[in-house]
Each structure stands twice: as C-alpha cells, then as structure tokens.
C-alpha cells in the first residue's frame, strides 16, 4: 500500500487510516491532560519514532532490492535476470501487505497490539541483519522474516495511535498528522543512507543499515514503553477466548506449513517445475482465491440490508481501482528503479559536489530517486489540501469516482513522460529530470486517489465489518504490488517506450472508465448512504 496522504492533506491520510483501524477502540486512551509531546500524549513520541525507523528500514531495503538482484555477481549482486528479479520483488511486496491480515487477527485475539508490535520489530530487525550475510539462504530467509514482522507491526502500531485518544479528543487528527510525518521522514531519508552505503561499501552494508534502523526503533519502543500506559494490551474479551484462538492459530499455521512444505517438496523432487511461470501461477491462484473467497463470503452474509450490499459493491469497485493504481504506481521500486540505475545520467550536479564518499565522487546512487515521492508529499500536499477545501466550500468537490479517475490519469501521464525518457535513452543516458517529472505526476495521482479511496472505504463499510474492510484495503495493496512485479518482468523484453506506453495506457484507460461511470457510481453511493449501517 502507498504511503500517500489524505485529500485534506498529506498527514491527514494517516489520521483517517489509523482512526479507521483503531480509533474506535480507544480502551486504553490516556488522559486528555497529557500534552507532553507537542500538545499530545507522550506515548505518541514512542510510536512516532518506532514507526519512523520501521518505515526507514522498509523503504531503505526496498530501494536496493531489485538493483541487488539484477547486479552481476562480480559486483556483489545475485546476477538474476529482470524477469526473475521482478517476480521475487512482486512476491515480497505483495506478501508484506497480505501478512497484515493474519497479523491483525493475531493481535486482536492472542497477543494484543503492544506485544505484536514488539515481536514484529524484532523479526524485522532479524530479517535485515540476516540479509547482511552474503548467501542465497540468508537472502530469502531475511525476506521471510521481514514479511512476518511487518505483518505483526504495521497494522497494529497504527491501531495503538488511535487508542492514545478518547473518542471525543479533538487532538486525534493532529496526532495522526505527527505520526504520518514520521513515516515520510523515514521514507525520505532511508534510500539516501542505504543507497550511499550500498554504492560505496557493498549491498549488504545497505541491508545492515536498514537493520540498524529497525533495531533503534525496537530499543526506543522498549525503553519508553511505560509512556503507553494500558494502550495496546489485549482486551478482557480476547483474554477469555485466547485458548480457543491459540488453537485455531496453530491449526492454521500447521495447514500453511503443510501446504507450502508439500509444494516445496514437489518442486525439489521435480514433480512440479520450479519455473518463474509456475511459481507466479501458483501465487496468482492463491491470491485470487483469497480475494474472491473474501468478497464472496462478505456478499453472501444473510444479515445485510439492501443499502449495505450496495456499499459492499462500491468497496469492491474501489478495491479494483486501487489495485490497478498500485500495479502502475509500484513500478517505482522495480522498473523505474532499473531505469534510474541503467539508463539515467546520474552525474553528480555541481551543487552537490560537497557530498563525500559517492562512487568515484561523481555519480548519484540510483536508490536516491526513491526519496522523491516522500519529498513531493512534504511539499505538495498542503496545496492539494487547499484545493480540496476550496472546492468543498463551493460545493464543487469532485466525487470519489471522479477523483479516482483523476488519480489514474495523472499516474498514466507520468508514464507518458517515461515514454519520452525511453526515447531519449535510445541516444544515451536520459536526463534525470525525466524521472523527477514522473515522480511529481505520480505523487499528484497518489494524493488524489489513495486517501480518497481509503476514506470512502471507511465511510461505506458496514459497522459490523469496519475493521475487516481495512484488511480489504491491505489486500488491495497486496494484489496491486504483485501485479506490479509481474508487469516489471517485461521491462527487458519489450522496447522501453512500448513498455512505458503500455503501463500508461492501462492507467489512463482505468481512469477514463472511472470518469465514464462517475455519475452512476455517485448515485449508487448516495443510495447506499441513505441506509444506516448495521450495528
């Protein structure tokens, strides 16, 4: 899922996201008189810095991942072709978000958010440090640990932020603003640090740096844990049912191990060929089964009113739009990262000559371009917020479907820009300003679509499944990231302008479809909103 900000401002995305995930369960809310962290509960400082370092570790390693896999072995990389690297990248980023579903369930039923965040941080730290060792087993083992750890930490630290505030505490949105800024500070700084270390000292130093970042976050979380009071602890109701939940967990885990262990055994025995296509096909079926199964289960519940059924169908449409958006947007870490590495003029500009230790003293690490999105969020989001506010005052605020269309078209225009970059690269390395303009357009698209879809999902979700709908949002991120990796696999098999043009066409076509159906969807949403959600 994207880091993207809210329609009312970059930082307000976190406000809506986290409030939706945990704001209504503020059983451990601290005193409204606690204003020790910039007017907010002191516990927010703990969660702020923990999340800052967790996101820094994620985006720092992500900026290196596909570059490391495609680098030649003589340069310390794995020497994989682009197709294999893109598949691994897509599987990893997809599973990171898919793991949020069981991670949230484990926190709600067995561990509580407080312990889940701690164990998740420890697993993430172990994963990054495991990747610091130069071997294939430690590479994949490290990715696996990071997936498990992120599934435990990411959804649950957000819930804990919501629990810091009582239901009537007017500081909630501003508190989420501070929390979200921590996310973007980490996302901006980490690629710069990890990228420079990887270029100058080796890939595994970059991976280790990501581990150091998460380790600092875990230490902060432990040392200042008393600031959180009762926030994040398991509820009395869950305590009473914990034995039954543990039994269900172990059964589920055993089934998962048997399935994947058996599949691995069949591949090792040669019964099932371990080719890229087969692995991709198996995961596609698995993800499709989870997605279709979840929506089928939701739509066939007997207790929905007619209005609630319409809400669920609207959520499904938004889910599809979000998945398509991420399928293109998440090319940032794969195909656009490869373009920065292999076909972009990265000569160090004169005004940056003071930075020490760069390769040969004259090139910018490709990973540094991954910081552009966070930079533009900082600088552009306030203006986007002003635009939405001004339009709302005039009752001219575009509908959700229209905003989805705008976001997808802006995203597509970013790839139209990359068509120009591909043509320029035919005569030598392209100017870095092509990528800068592309990331600018992509950030504008993100600001327009991602938070709007999230907000609409939380508004449309029937009350009895409001938390589950956040799982649906993460599932959309999982599907989108996997498709993104699959698309990136064609990066070196298609002509570059044709590849970028294909991605642009998909995004723009989806945007036009949302424009076309904006009227009917708006009426459908209005009809659905007339029916109260089930209690």
Beta carbons of 42 and 223 less than 8 angstroms apart: no
Which residues lie closer than 8 Å to 460 by C-beta, 6 or more apart?
311, 312, 314, 315, 469, 525, 528, 529
* Helices 172-201 & 203-223 angle (0-180, nearest 10): 150
For residue 14, pLDDT over 60 is answered with no
Regarding whether 90 and 115 lie in a shared domain, the answer is: yes
Identify which of 446, 331, 369, 341 has the alpha carbon closest to the alpha carbon of residue 93.
331
β partners of residue 344: 430
pLDDT score of 462:
74
Beta carbons of 162 and 15 less than 8 angstroms apart: no
67 token code pair = 């570059």
For residue 57, pLDDT over 70 is answered with yes
Q: Please identify, among 226, 249, 273, the residue that sits at the C-terminal boundary of a domain.
A: 273
Residue 108 lies in a domain: yes
Beta carbons of 474 and 100 less than 8 angstroms apart: yes
Regarding whether 282 and 268 lie in a shared domain, the answer is: no
pLDDT in tens, 98-125: 998 888 888 888 888 889 999 999 999 9
Taking CA atoms, 113 is separated from 20, 52, 243, in Å, by 15, 18, 17
pLDDT class for 25, splitting at 50, 70, 90? very low
pLDDT in tens, 177-191: 677 777 888 889 999
pLDDT class for 5, splitting at 50, 70, 90? very low
β partners of residue 6: 9
**Pick the residue with more confidence: 386 or 193?**
193
Regarding whether 307 and 207 lie in a shared domain, the answer is: no
What CA–CA distance (Å, rounded) separates 44 from 481? 30
What CATH number has the domain bearing residue 188? 1.20.1250.20
What CA–CA distance (Å, rounded) separates 318 from 476? 9
Residue 116 lies in a domain: yes
Domain encompassing residue 257: 241-273
State the Cα torsion 205-210-214-220 to the nearest 10°.
70
234 token code pair = 């398991």
Residue 210 lies in a domain: yes
- Angle at CA of residue 371, ends 438 and 4, nearest 5°: 75
* Helices 335-342 & 43-70 angle (0-180, nearest 10): 60
What CA–CA distance (Å, rounded) separates 236 from 14? 28
Q: Please identify, among 212, 235, 258, the residue that sits at the C-terminal boundary of a domain.
A: 235
For residue 32, pLDDT over 70 is answered with no
pLDDT score of 126:
96
Residue 344 lies in a domain: yes
Residue 207 lies in a domain: yes
Regarding whether 217 and 78 lie in a shared domain, the answer is: yes
pLDDT score of 15:
41
Residue 214 lies in a domain: yes
Regarding whether 506 and 386 lie in a shared domain, the answer is: yes
DSSP state of 26: -
Residue 354 lies in a domain: no
Regarding whether 282 and 148 lie in a shared domain, the answer is: no
Separation of first and last alpha carbons in the chain:
29
pLDDT in tens, 351-379: 555 555 554 456 788 999 999 999 998 88
Regarding whether 174 and 73 lie in a shared domain, the answer is: yes
Regarding whether 507 and 427 lie in a shared domain, the answer is: yes
Average pLDDT over residues 204-230: 90
Regarding whether 217 and 279 lie in a shared domain, the answer is: no
What CA–CA distance (Å, rounded) separates 116 from 398? 39
Regarding whether 220 and 301 lie in a shared domain, the answer is: no
197 token code pair = 């270390």
Identify which of 298, 305, 316 has the alpha carbon closest to the alpha carbon of residue 532.
305
Regarding whether 264 and 219 lie in a shared domain, the answer is: no
What CA–CA distance (Å, rounded) separates 143 from 138? 8
Residue 5 lies in a domain: no
* Average pLDDT value over all residues in the chain: 82
Phi, psi of 495 (to 5 degrees): -55, 135
For residue 19, pLDDT over 50 is answered with no
Regarding whether 300 and 176 lie in a shared domain, the answer is: no
Structurally, how many domains does the chain consist of? 3
pLDDT score of 349:
66
β partners of residue 363: 347
pLDDT in tens, 247-285: 888 988 898 889 888 888 888 777 777 788 888 888 999
pLDDT score of 352:
58
Chain centre to alpha carbon of residue 485: 14
Identify which of 146, 7, 124 has the alpha carbon closest to the alpha carbon of residue 458.
7
What CA–CA distance (Å, rounded) separates 453 from 408? 12
- Range from 63-67, 305-309, 518-522, 523-527 carrying the lowest mean pLDDT: 523-527
């Amino acid at each position: 899922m994207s880091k993207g900000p809210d329609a009312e401002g970059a930082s307000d995305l976190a406000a809506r996201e986290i409030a939706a995930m945990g704001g209504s369960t503020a059983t451990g809310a601290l005193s409204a008189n606690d204003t020790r962290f910039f007017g907010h509960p002191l516990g927010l400082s703990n969660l702020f810095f923990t999340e800052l370092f967790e996101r820094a570790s994620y985006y720092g390693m992500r900026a290196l991942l596909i570059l490391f896999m495609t680098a030649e072995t003589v340069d310390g990389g794995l020497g994989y072709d682009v197709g294999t690297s893109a598949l691994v990248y897509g599987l990893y980023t997809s599973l990171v978000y898919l793991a949020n579903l069981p991670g949230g369930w484990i926190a709600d039923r067995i561990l509580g958010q407080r312990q889940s965040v701690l164990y998740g941080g420890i697993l993430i730290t172990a994963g990054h440090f495991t990747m610091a060792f130069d071997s294939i087993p430690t590479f994949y083992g490290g990715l696996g640990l990071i997936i498990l750890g992120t599934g435990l930490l990411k959804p649950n630290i957000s819930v804990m932020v919501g629990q810091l505030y009582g239901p009537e505490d007017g500081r909630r949105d501003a508190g989420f603003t501070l929390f979200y800024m921590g996310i973007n500070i980490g996302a901006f700084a980490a690629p710069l640090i990890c990228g420079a270390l990887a270029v100058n000292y080796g890939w595994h130093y970059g991976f280790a740096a990501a581990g150091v970042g998460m380790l600092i976050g875990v230490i902060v979380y432990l040392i200042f844990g008393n600031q959180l009071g009762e926030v994040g602890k398991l509820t009395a109701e869950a305590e009473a049912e914990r034995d039954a939940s543990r039994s269900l967990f172990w059964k589920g885990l055993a089934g998962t191990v048997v399935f994947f262990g058996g599949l691995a055994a069949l591949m090792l025995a040669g019964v099932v060929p371990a080719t890229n296509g087969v692995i991709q096909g198996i995961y596609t079926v698995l993800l499709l089964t989870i997605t279709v199964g979840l929506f089928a289960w939701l739509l066939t519940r007997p207790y929905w009113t007619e209005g609630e059924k319409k809400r669920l169908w609207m959520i499904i449409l938004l889910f599809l739009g979000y998945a398509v958006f991420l399928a293109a947007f998440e090319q940032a870490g794969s195909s656009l990262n490869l373009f920065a590495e292999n076909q972009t003029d990265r000569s160090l500009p004169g005004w940056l000559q003071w930075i020490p230790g760069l390769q040969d003293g004259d090139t910018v690490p490709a990973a540094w371009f991954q910081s552009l999105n966070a930079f533009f969020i900082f600088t552009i989001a306030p203006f986007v917020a002003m635009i939405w506010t001004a339009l709302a005052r005039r009752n001219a605020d575009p509908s959700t479907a229209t905003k989805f269309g705008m976001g997808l078209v802006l995203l597509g225009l970013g790839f139209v820009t990359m068509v120009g970059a591909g043509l320029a690269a035919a005569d030598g390395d392209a100017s870095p300003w092509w990528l800068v303009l592309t990331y600018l357009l992509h950030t504008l698209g993100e600001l327009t679509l991602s938070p709007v879809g999230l907000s609409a999902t939380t508004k449309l979700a029937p009350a009895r499944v409001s938390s589950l709908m956040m799982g649906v949002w993460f599932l959309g991120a999982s599907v989108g990231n996997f498709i993104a990796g699959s698309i990136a696999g064609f990066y070196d098999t298609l002509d570059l302008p044709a590849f970028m043009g294909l991605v642009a066409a998909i995004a723009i076509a989806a945007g036009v479809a949302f424009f076309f159906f904006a009227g009917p969807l708006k009426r459908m949403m209005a009809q659905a909103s007339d029916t109260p959600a089930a209690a």
